[in-house]
Amino acid sequence: MSSMSKPNLNNPPWASAPRVALARIPTPIESCKYQWGPYQLLIKRDDLTDCPISGNKIRKLEYLVGDALAQNCDTLITCGGVQSNHARATAIVARRMGLGCVLVLSGETPDVLDGNLLLSKMSGAEVRIYPDANGDQRAERMHRVADELREQGRRPYVITSGGSDEVGVLGYINAAAEIAEQLLEDRTRVSAIVVAVGSGGTYAGLLIGAKLCAMDVKIIGATVDGTPESWRPKLREYIDRSVNRWQLNVQVGDDDIDLIPAAGRGYALSSGDELKFITGFAGTTGVYLDPVYTGKTLFAFDRAVKDGSVKLDGDALFVHTGGVFGLFPQRERLNQFISQL
């Protein structure tokens, strides 16, 4: 159940962290036509933080770009898969702020640009695609690009994968305070908040923020890449690093890190059941989930509630982190489900 104590983040330790206002926030919390017994599914509509920059990344970018500008940088460099939402959001933010942008992406170069990659290219970002690069290799390549740019007299700022570092985390610590305030105002009884874990920053920020606001609610992360076991130590380390960096007076215990498996066939690989769920969810609620993060998360959470591995004693709040452009590259498989309806 959400605590009724008022969140107290009026003058937080990170108040002086440079920030640029980019996101259309606060985003609403809406109810939808989906429930489990007496408990409703509520949705925190972070898919509405903007149109082309929509999703969770913009909240992190407010602080990351603030930091880049404070360091007088003129070019953002980041990385991800070819359909990375984070890369797309960074590219468009860079354009809006008059900064250069280089994206280091991995995966196959498509014959026809689509989804996030199409939007990134339209923003004028320089896109370098490396077919087989893994996470570490992408990080190394970003630093090589940064060296190259420095040699040309430019001032690059490297943003870690997914924007999940101690600066980016601030966006979701604030979002937790925003949620606490909204639940208090609406007098809504929420027992669990659920969100995708992709690079970890959204989950870590929400958990730290919920603790800072003394919210009596489980923060459940759905691991859409890897497993809960592989994520637990990484999140522990990331949370500790963030708490230390901002000198936060907060205790986050190991038991607070509450994770459910959601990768299914693997990162960005959709099962027929997941795509059917996404299609059905749009058909019942009018809310669109993406195949890589939000669709897998809600599909896994729904199963966990139904099989009893997650127990609710109040409504559940799903943080919709965006990603709608990821539906389009899946159009052929989605067409099959739609034609079967």
Task: Kindly state the number of chain residues that form the binding site for ligand PLP, as judged by CB under 6 A.
Answer: 20
Residue 56 sits in the site that holds ligand PLP (CB under 6 A): yes
CB distance 131 to 154 below 8 Å: no
In contact, 189 and 216? CB cutoff 8 Å: no
78-106 in b/e form (b: 16+ CB < 10 A) is bbbbbbbbbbbbbbbbbbebebbbbbbbb
Q: Which two tokens stand for residue 314?
A: 């109040």
Q: According to CB under 6 A, which residues from 67 to 86 bind ligand PLP?
A: 85-86
DSSP assignment of 114-133 equals -HHHHHHHHTT-EEEEETT-
Catalytic residue among 2, 3, 16, 84: 84
Task: Show contacts with ligand PLP in window 265-294 (CB under 6 A).
Answer: 290, 293-294
In the set 40, 164, 223, 279, which binds ligand PLP (CB under 6 A)? 164
Residue position matching structure tokens 């199963």: 303
Closest distance to ligand PLP from the beta carbon of 42 (Å):
17
Stretch near ligand PLP under the rule CB under 6 A, chosen from 130-138, 146-154, 192-200, 245-253: 192-200
Q: Is the peptide bond before 26 cis (omega within 30 degrees of 0)?
A: yes
Q: How far is the CB of 200 from ligand PLP (least distance, A)?
A: 5
Nearer to ligand PLP, 203 or 277 (CB): 203
Looking at the chain, the number of H-run helices and the number of E-run strands are 10, 10
Q: Find the shortest distance in angstroms from Cβ 90 to ligand PLP.
A: 11
Question: Which residues between 100 and 119 bind ligand PLP (CB under 6 A)?
Answer: none
Nearest distance, CB of residue 273 and ligand PLP, angstroms: 20
The reply to whether 196 sits near ligand PLP by the rule CB under 6 A is yes
Please give the residues from 294 up to 333 whose contact with ligand PLP meets the rule CB under 6 A: 294, 321-323
| Integer Cα distance of 225 and 51 in angstroms | 26
Compare residues 40 and 78 and give the one whose CB is closer to ligand PLP. 78
* Closer residue to ligand PLP (CB): 182 or 223: 223
When CB distances to ligand PLP are compared, the closest residue is: 198
> Which CB contacts under 8 angstroms, 24+ apart, belong to 42-45?
42/188, 42/190, 42/315, 42/316, 42/317, 42/318, 43/287, 43/317, 43/318, 43/319, 43/320, 44/175, 44/179, 44/193, 44/317, 44/318, 44/319, 44/320, 45/320
Query: Any alpha helices (H) in the chain, and if so which ranges?
Result: 57-70, 85-97, 115-122, 135-151, 169-186, 201-212, 228-245, 272-285, 294-306, 331-340
Q: What does the chain come to in residues? A: 341
Nearer to ligand PLP, 213 or 268 (CB): 268
Query: Rounded to an integer, what distance in angstroms lies between the CA atom of residue 221 and that of residue 256?
Result: 11
Q: Which stretch binds ligand PLP (CB under 6 A): 27-35, 128-136, 190-198, 245-253?
A: 190-198
Shortest distance (Å) from residue 172 CB to ligand PLP: 7
120 scored as a contact of ligand PLP (CB under 6 A): no
Q: Using the rule CB under 6 A, is 202 a contact of ligand PLP?
A: yes
Residue 121 and residue 156: Cα distance in Å, rounded? Answer: 19
- Quick count: other Cβ atoms within 10 Å of Cβ 151? 8
138 lines the binding site for ligand PLP (CB under 6 A) = no
Site string for ligand PLP, 212-241 (x = CB under 6 A): ------------------------------
Given the rule CB under 6 A, which of 19-27, 194-202, 232-240, 257-265 is the region that contacts ligand PLP? 194-202
Note if 2 is an active site residue: no
Residue with smaller CB distance to ligand PLP, 7 or 221: 221
Q: Which residues bind ligand PLP (CB under 6 A)?
A: 55-56, 85-86, 162, 164, 196-203, 290, 293-294, 321-323
Known catalytic residues? Answer: 84
